[in-house]
Amino acid sequence: MNTTARRIAGTSLAAAGAMCLAVGPALAADTTVSGNLLPVASNNVSKVSGTASVKVSGEMLTVTMVASGLLAGSAHAAHIHFGANARHACPTIADDTNGDGHINTTEGAAAYGGVVVSLTTSGDTSPKSALAVDRFSTAPGGEISYERGSIKVSPELAKAISGGESAIVVHGVDYNKNGKYDGATKSDVDPALPTEATDPALCGILKVAPAGGMNTGGGGGTGGSNQGLIVIGGALLLAGAGVGAFALKRRANAAA
């Protein structure tokens, strides 16, 4: 798509300005952003691990995510978060505004913004499904292996995600290590759920992934670099050939 767009722009130079505006969205090639999912600070989840990758093709997202070390057999809500006024960062203990020692969903949003995509296993992926606990992975064996394509988002959101400003957050923590979501503290986003069910466990900022080769060499290790010796050697060869030719000529003259 990108190549085609460039060709069009190149062959109609007179209209270049207008063309660039017209094909602007098409010029945006696929962008892949990825994030290293880290345990959310102070939420007692030091063993969790994960990596997420989102390919942005125009306004379509393909999300791939693997996470491990989570509470097994319980629904883990997972979302892409973004907020224009958020810090585009994962929360720290400084975000614990209610002082209970943990980061809950509301406190986390100050760092990474609200839900913009719900990473459900089927059906709707909009923020309306943020708490659709029957449509999120239950992490069999503590692991989530998620992939879903054709997730349509707004052009503004696609731009924010491909610009490295969004976060992937996996929720669900078992503070008391009893193998289920429970406890007296209710969720700040759904009073019908314990806070364990909705507190964030893993968070990663989706940054633009690297592309292309690397300049990892100086070139001094190959044979071609030692020009000094080559030049001197070549000069001596030329001189030798010259002197030799002179000598042969003299001998030939003498013989004649």
The DSSP output letter for 247 is H
Whose structure tokens read 């000529």? 249
DSSP codes of every residue in 157-180? HHHHHHTT--EEEEE---TT-SSS
Work out how close the CB of 238 gets to other proteins at its nearest, in angstroms, rounded to a whole number.
8
Work out how close the CB of 126 gets to other proteins at its nearest, in angstroms, rounded to a whole number.
19
Contact 77, 133 (CB under 8 A): yes
- Binding of other proteins at residue 215 (CB under 8 A)? yes
Residues 127-166 that bind other proteins (CB under 8 A): 143, 145, 147, 149-150
Where would I find the H helices in 74-226? 105-112, 155-162, 195-198
Binding residue (CB under 8 A) for other proteins from 23, 66, 132, 193: 66
Binding residue (CB under 8 A) for other proteins from 11, 85, 222, 253: 222
R_g over Cα of the chain = 31
- Binding of other proteins at residue 65 (CB under 8 A)? yes
* Interior/surface letters 163-180, b for 16+ CB within 10 angstroms, e for the rest: bbbbbbbbbbbbbeeeee
**What values do phi and psi take at 182, rounded to 5?**
-160, -160
Nearer residue to other proteins within complex by CB, 62 or 106: 62
- Binding of other proteins at residue 229 (CB under 8 A)? yes
- Binding of other proteins at residue 228 (CB under 8 A)? yes
Nearer residue to other proteins within complex by CB, 18 or 246: 246
Binding residue (CB under 8 A) for other proteins from 22, 27, 58, 68: 68
The footprint of other proteins on this chain (CB under 8 A) covers a number of residues equal to 74
- Binding of other proteins at residue 207 (CB under 8 A)? yes
**Distance (Å, whole) CA 35 – CA 55:** 12
- Binding of other proteins at residue 119 (CB under 8 A)? no
- Binding of other proteins at residue 239 (CB under 8 A)? yes
Question: For residue 51, what are its two tokens?
Answer: 């990596």
- Binding of other proteins at residue 34 (CB under 8 A)? yes
- Binding of other proteins at residue 121 (CB under 8 A)? no
